[in-house]
Each structure stands twice: as structure tokens, then as C-alpha cells.
Structure 1
């Protein structure tokens, strides 16, 4: 009997709290909402290690950052042979595998085919129809895969919520009806004055924009536009008659900061706006309809859950959990607290519990933030009030929990915590940043093309 197909939507930079299925006050994701109503939704899904490279590594291996040994956006070298990617496991089990929009990343290792599309540079209209560009290559590939005798795994990396936010008309004004060039509005001044990223922002934000709400509305519009285009893929699945035999997974690598915490329109900073991502699964006959789960789940749970749902057994000792047990009402070890890491433009780690968030810098950052931040997530869910000085005993308690966890995982893996060894995460090649002033001057992001180059590598690097 033919095994089920898998379509995994790895939507880059999608905050779950901006999806209408997760309660957002605007109807941004009606088509993905329908998938949620036809399947299961995890309300508290987290990506503990940001940004893109470590997050996808966990998603596509079932391992945490100690298991993958990957924590940095600019990871040096290939993914280690000690881990197996989802594409490799499925390929070994007779699957045809295709990756769209993720060529060159370490964790994209093992696919049969790699297809790319334009997801950065605007067209002659000044907009970039990212999701339509993806559909142009993904839908013919979906039809090709469906026509084969073997089951398939199709991985789709959508980039619409990733800056630059360039949704085509009418989506660019779908959620905005103001005057984006109002000279009295000064909200974009700190964005344009942030030297490390100012030129990047100016390379895609229309000249003269003064209202940050306009830029944030581009993010909302990009999500809504992408959702409309994703419906094309759902319609193709239905038309091909493979809906009943196809597992659909919708998730993201990390969230987005937008205008919050001075980390403008990016995804650095270990605040919950970057750690909270969606997880929606639909598999007719194998998963219930319209069920929502409030238990905490982590990005490394995705691979073992997929393998369980499609009936593939391995001897891999995943760090992630099989969420099918939770769906069936069986006992599953709960996640009550977890280690968080970031190597984007700042090198920090921390510890998150239901009540507290500890963020500890391993070197100075270009926002001149304090070395230690502590937030009470119950009283201050938006993480705006750093209480580290008032709650020194809580800081010490969380630091000990984090230190003990690191020691345990180092002993289990036989490797040093990669957060301590990835000192060239910034790509400057000269070791840790010593001062915030140095970080502010060195960590420069230029135009759209230079931002794209950070993530782009030659295809042969992942083979």
C-alpha cells in the first residue's frame, strides 16, 4: 500500500498571533484557518532557537540546538553527519522529495530536487509577488509528484512575511487607510536612524513613508496575499484527488519583531514575537477535525510527529516528542520550561518558563540593551518591563536552571554548547563583539540583494 504524501509549509517569519486562526483581530488567513478547522491546531507552539538556520534545522531533524549543533544564521559548514534530515529519512523509505525555496541551507540536505523562485527583489510595479512566484514552480512540481507511483514529500518555504514586505495590490492597502507620508508622523524616524539596518529599510520601504503602521500593514497584507495564493495549492491537492492521502503541515521557523522592542521589522531578539509560531496539521481520517491543543509544543516535535502519522519507524533518538500521543489523549512528557537561543545580529541565550523569561547576552549587542533582561510573562506578556534588578533572586534561579540544563545536554551529546563556540555568527571573522559601539558600527545590513546573499549558498553545498 502506498504511503501518505507530505506537504510541509515552512512559512518564514510568520507570527502565529497575526493569524486569524490564532485570534488575530483581522482576517489575515481565512484559507489556512479552514485547514485548521479541518485538522488540529497547537495554540502554544514555539521555535526556541532563532533565526532561520537553527530553526529549520530543528524542524527538519527533530533535534534541539544541542542535537543539531546549529545556532547561527550564518552557520559555518554543513549539517553534521550525526543527524538525519526528514528528506533523507523519507528518501530512504521510497519517497520522492522536492524542496522549493530553500536551496543551500544546511538542513535542506537530502532532497531529490531543489527549485527556486524570486522572493526578494521587486518587479516593475515595485512589489514582489513572492507566493505567486512560488506557485509557478511548486504547482507543476506538485502535479508531477502526484503522477508518480511513489509517495512524495514537498517542502515549501514561503517568504512573504519575511522582510522586505512587498505584497502586490490590493493587499498593500488591505489593512491600511491612512496617509503613510504624513509629515507630522515621526514614528519612522528611529527606524531610518538605526544605522546598521537603515539602508536595508530604505531599499524597499517607499520613499517618504513616515508612518510605521503602514509598514506593519505591509506585513499583514503579505500574510493575507500569501494565504490567498496558498489556496491555489490546496485547490490543486483537491483537484488531483490526493486530499485523503496527503498530510498537510503548516508552520514557521520564527516570528517577526515589526515595530516592537526597537528591533525594527526583523526577527532578532528572543522576545515572544520571534519565538511564537503556528503549527497546524490536517490529515483526513488520521487526525480529528477542529481540535485545538493548549499544551506547549516545540519545533523539534514536528519531524517525529510526521513520521508517526505516515507510519515510518526509525531508530533515531529524537529530542522532539511525538505529538500524536497528545492528540490521542495519551500521556506525553509536558514541556514546562525550555532553553532559548539567538545568533542573528546578537548572541544571546536564556530560559523561558510559563511565568518568566530570562535573556542573557553572551556579548554586547547593537541595541545597547542590558546584559540581563527578565520579564514576568503573566503580568507583562508583551515583555516591556525589564525587572532583572528588582528580581535578582529570580534571575539567579533561572540562571541555575539554564546552567544545569546546558551541562546535562553537553554531557548527553559529548559536545560543547554551540552558543559558546559560534563566535563568528556575525560573519566578521574576528571573534566576539566587545562593545555595543563596535556592534553598531560593524553589523551592517545593506540592500535587499545583500540581505538575500546572507542566506544564499551554492546548491552543491547541501548535496
Structure 2
């Protein structure tokens, strides 16, 4: 009998609060919801290090950002050889490994095969069928892997919730029935006036769109479209007769900002809309059905959990924990607070507790936000009211907790906090920004083509 196969859906930019299985008011993810009903859903799962590269690094190594030494989107140099990726560990244990949609990135190191698909550029209809493009390469590869004698690890990086949001018809309007070009609607003016990203937005948002709800509906539609296409993969697993021997993992690298906090249609910033991600696991006969875990979990827990479910042991001390203890009804030490970082278009770090969120800039940002932000997550869960000036004692307390944690992790790893050393995160070679105006004038995204090129690096 074969060892356990594993398929990981590492969906880019998927907010858990936009999934119907997590309580969203629109039916966006019925097929993934069904998988959750047949497995385990983690209700409070977080990705502490934004954006893509550090998040996947933690997901696929079981380490935090100190363990991976990766914090920036445009990470310079390889990810350290002091850590092994999930692909490397499984490869050493006789697995065939394939990665779809995530080549040329240090966080996806160690796969035997890399397959790419078009996930950025629209077709002649002006839309991009990202998930169907993925299926076109992933499903034949799934069948090929199944035909081999060895077990397999298939990693799928879906890009539909990542801007540009370009779901094909009819998904672009299943959650919107308004007039997206209403001249009396001015909600898109601030988007088009944000110089660093305005040209990127105009390269994929249809000309004349004035309603921000239309663009948000594209995000919803992209999720629903992707969910429908993912069902095709679930059906293939069923048709191949390998449901009972295949672990399914559905998760994301980070969330997305739509119209919140002036960080339009992107995922920079450390507000909870970027930190909240789904985690769903299904393995018939090995994991319970319909179980929901309310304890806080973090992205570096994914790899240790997968390895324990699969019965594979290593001599690595992971920063993450196997979540099987929760699944089996046992207790684990609670995650009551954690370090958060963001190194995309801004360089910031902070500290999150169940009640408070501290955000501290390491250099001026292009949104002209204050150096210190403090939010009461109980009274202000949407993080709209910065109370740093009113609560200096809380700021000082959280700063001390954060600084003590940084010092401890630096001592444990023997390396400087990567947030302090990644000053060229923007790729301009100019070092830290001296002012918000400098950042605003020089950090420019451009078109879809340029965004794809930046992502590929």
C-alpha cells in the first residue's frame, strides 16, 4: 500500500472572512465548504508575515520569519540552508513532488518538478481564467503522479484572489447588479488618485468604473470561480480512487485589502484583513469530519501538522506546532500574542494580542501613516481608530513585549532580525526611505506586466 499522498492548495490572497464556510454572507466557496464539512476547519488561523515570499516560506518550512530569515517580497539571496522545506523532507522520504504556479522563488525550493500557468494577463475577453489555466496543467500532472509507484506531494498556488481580479463570465457579476459606471458615484476617485498603484489599477479595472463595490465584487467572483474550478480537482481525486489515501490541505499565504485603510486592492499593511487566512484539512478515516477548532493557529503550524498526519518524523525543532493535538481533543499552549511583519511596499513590524494591535514603522510609508499605530481589537475590530496617543502605557508595554521577543529569537538563531537588514525590500537599491513623500514618489507598481515581473522575482 502506498504512503499518504498530500495535495496542498496554497491559495494566494484569500481572506478567510470572505469564505462562506467561515460565515461570509455570500455563497463564495460551496465546494471548499464541503471539504471542511468532511474534515477539520481552523477558525482563527493567521499569517503573521506579509507578503507572499515570507508567508510561503513559513508555511513550507514550519519556521517563523527568524527561522527562515525571509521577510521581504523581493527576498535577496536563497532561503538559508539551515532549514528544509516540506518538498525537501518529502523528497528524502521517497515522494514525488510537483509545484504548480510558484517557480523562481526561494520559498518554493526543493520540488522535483515546476509547472507554470498564466495567472496575470487577460485573454481576448478581457478576463483571465486563472483557475482553469491551472487545471489545464495540474490535473494531467495529478494523473501522472498517481500512475507512479511512489506517493506524491502536489502543491497548487491558485492566484484568482490576487489582483488583478479578473473572473470570467458569469462570475464577474454574480455578486453585483449595480451600475459600475454611475457618474454620481465617486468611491473610486481615491483609488485612481493613489499615484504608486494608479496605473496598475487602470491596466485591469475596466475604463469608466466609478463604484468600488464593483471591484470588490470581482474579488468575490474570483473566489467563487476558483472554488468551482477546484471542485474539478476534487472530482479527479475521487475518480482516481485515492480519496482515502490523500490528505487535502486548503490554506492561503495572506489575506487581502480591498478598500480598507487606504491600501486598495493589495496586501500590504498588517491590519487583520491581511493576517486572516483559512486552514482546512481533510483525510478520511484519519481526521474527524466536521470539526471546527477555535484556538489561534499560525502559518508555521502547517508543515509540522502535515508531517505528523503523514507519520513522518524529522530531527528539526520547528517553530510551528502540530495541530493534531487540537484535532484529537488534547491541549496545546495557547498562542496568545505574536510578532507581525510587513515588507512589501512598506517596512513595518508589530505585536498582536487578542485585545491589542501595535504597528510600528521602521521607515516612513507611502500612505503618510503615523510611525506608531495602536488598535483595540475588541472595541475596534476593523482597526479604524488609532489610539496610540491616548494609550501610551499600552504602546510601551507592547513595544517591550515585541523587543524582548526579537532579542530572544536573535539569540536563538544567532542572526539579526531580518526586518532590520532588508532595507532594499523595494528593489531600488537606495536604502530606507527618508520621508513618506519620497516613498510616494518612488515606489511605483505600473502595469499588470510589471506586477507579474516583480512577483516572478
TM range (shorter): over 0.9
- TM-score normalized by structure 1? 0.98
Q: Which residue of 2 aligns with 1:460?
A: none
1:2: Cα distance to partner?
1.9
1:69: Cα distance to partner?
0.2
The secondary structure found in structure 2 opposite 1:302 is helix
Query: 8 Å contact 1:257–1:264 — kept in the other structure?
Result: yes
- Find out whether 1:80 has 2:80 as its counterpart: yes
- 1:417 & 1:318 partners in 2: Cα distance? 18
Deviations 1:274-317 (A, max 9, x none): 00000000000110000001000000000000000001000011
1:16-95 equivalent positions in 2, closer than 5 A: 16-95=16-95
Q: Which residue of 1 aligns with 2:8?
A: 8
1:163: Cα distance to partner?
0.1
Q: Which residue of 2 aligns with 1:387?
A: 387
1:190: Cα distance to partner?
0.3
Q: Which residue of 1 aligns with 2:432?
A: 432
Query: 8 Å contact 1:128–1:166 — kept in the other structure?
Result: yes
- 2:318 & 2:454 partners in 1: Cα distance? 29
Q: Which residue of 2 aligns with 1:396?
A: 396
Aligned length: 457
1:107: Cα distance to partner?
1.3
- Find out whether 1:113 has 2:113 as its counterpart: yes
Q: Which residue of 1 aligns with 2:194?
A: 194
Runs of 4+ in structure 1 over 3 Å off: none
- 2:279 & 2:86 partners in 1: Cα distance? 17
- 1:111 & 1:73 partners in 2: Cα distance? 20
The secondary structure found in structure 2 opposite 1:56 is helix
Q: Which residue of 1 aligns with 2:406?
A: 406
- 1:399 & 1:199 partners in 2: Cα distance? 37
1:334: Cα distance to partner?
1.2
- 1:62 & 1:377 partners in 2: Cα distance? 27
- 1:4 & 1:302 partners in 2: Cα distance? 16
- 1:166 & 1:384 partners in 2: Cα distance? 29
Q: Which residue of 2 aligns with 1:253?
A: 253
Q: Which residue of 2 aligns with 1:276?
A: 276
- Gapped regions of structure 2 (runs ≥ 5): none
- Gapped regions of structure 1 (runs ≥ 5): 458-463
Query: 8 Å contact 1:105–1:455 — kept in the other structure?
Result: no
1:173-252 equivalent positions in 2, closer than 5 A: 173-252=173-252
1:331: Cα distance to partner?
2.5
1:171: Cα distance to partner?
0.1
Q: Which residue of 1 aligns with 2:134?
A: 134
The secondary structure found in structure 1 opposite 2:277 is coil
Query: 8 Å contact 1:7–1:249 — kept in the other structure?
Result: yes
- 2:187 & 2:274 partners in 1: Cα distance? 22
The secondary structure found in structure 2 opposite 1:406 is helix
Q: Which residue of 1 aligns with 2:158?
A: 158
1:456: Cα distance to partner?
1.1
